[in-house]
Structure 1
């Protein structure tokens, strides 16, 4: 541990940025800016694709993860950094077609893991985002 003062957020286990709970675009952009290495560019692209697919999307950071949702209808996805990949959680993922590949202990949630050497299928991701935004969101 260092005692140096820095405006950069602390990186938690797996390189996940520690960002204070807050609502709006600014904390999400701070999270993305603090994502380490290759994850930063992927984070920016995910955010661009989500905003393009759902222009009225609401944003927040809770539990050190950006959340995306519909005002008054809850959250439909989150993003979280791990050491070797970025995990996108679709909270109603079992209702999406096709179903995202990553299984969850939560009955409805499905994950998409994005690794450095795994290109993002932007068309499929955008389709999932559009579908997810039209389902009832999670209240958190």
Structure 2
């Protein structure tokens, strides 16, 4: 019987390889400093949804709520991920808003925020940019946020 091999070990080995491959497919996204997801840059909804899906913990729900609010407020909004941040804009006008994840909060950047009324609370080194930082447990004033999004979408955006 020398030279005959049992088929059982081969089947077991194939199952182990299949399990390893399945784990690779559903591998956790890479998180950069502060928990910001590392997502390949790209245009459209798909990379933005990949970014939101990779946001850690409670921040994912914030990302979903922000994205839904922006889409409701600005029909036909243009989306992309650049520099590991989702961007929202209007075709031929540039980007009006960006989102970025930090360790303890989600930062919403209004690129022409100084022109919004009322002005969003977070200052910036850039005289035009203003921020809204959303921490765990914060109650979002969705009416105010929608107002800022609408105003920002009507202003000339950033060219990036």
Answering whether residue 55 of structure 2 is matched by residue 74 of structure 1, we say no
The partner residue of 1:21 within 41, 52, 68 is 41
Partner residue of 2:75?
Answer: 55
Tell me the CA shift for residue 8 of structure 1: 3.3
Partner residue of 1:119?
Answer: 139
Answering whether residue 56 of structure 2 is matched by residue 36 of structure 1, we say yes
- Cα distance in 2, alignment partners of residues 8 and 78 from structure 1: 23
Partner residue of 1:139?
Answer: 159
Partner residue of 2:124?
Answer: 104
- Cα distance in 2, alignment partners of residues 68 and 33 from structure 1: 17
The DSSP-based 3-state class of the residue aligned with 1:18 is: coil
TM-score normalised by length of structure 2: 0.83
Could you give the per-residue CA deviations for residues 85-133 of structure 1, whole angstroms, max 9, x where no partner exists? 0000000000000000000001100000000021111010000000000
* Larger of the two Rg values belongs to structure: 2
Unpaired runs of 5+ residues, structure 1, are none
- Root-mean-square deviation (CA, aligned residues, Å) is 1.0
Count matched residues: 137
- Which one is further off, 116-125 or 127-136? 116-125
Write 1 or 2 for the structure with the bigger share of helix. 2
The DSSP-based 3-state class of the residue aligned with 1:72 is: coil
The DSSP-based 3-state class of the residue aligned with 1:83 is: coil
Instruction: Answer 1 or 2: higher relative contact order, Cα 8 Å, separation at least 6.
Output: 1
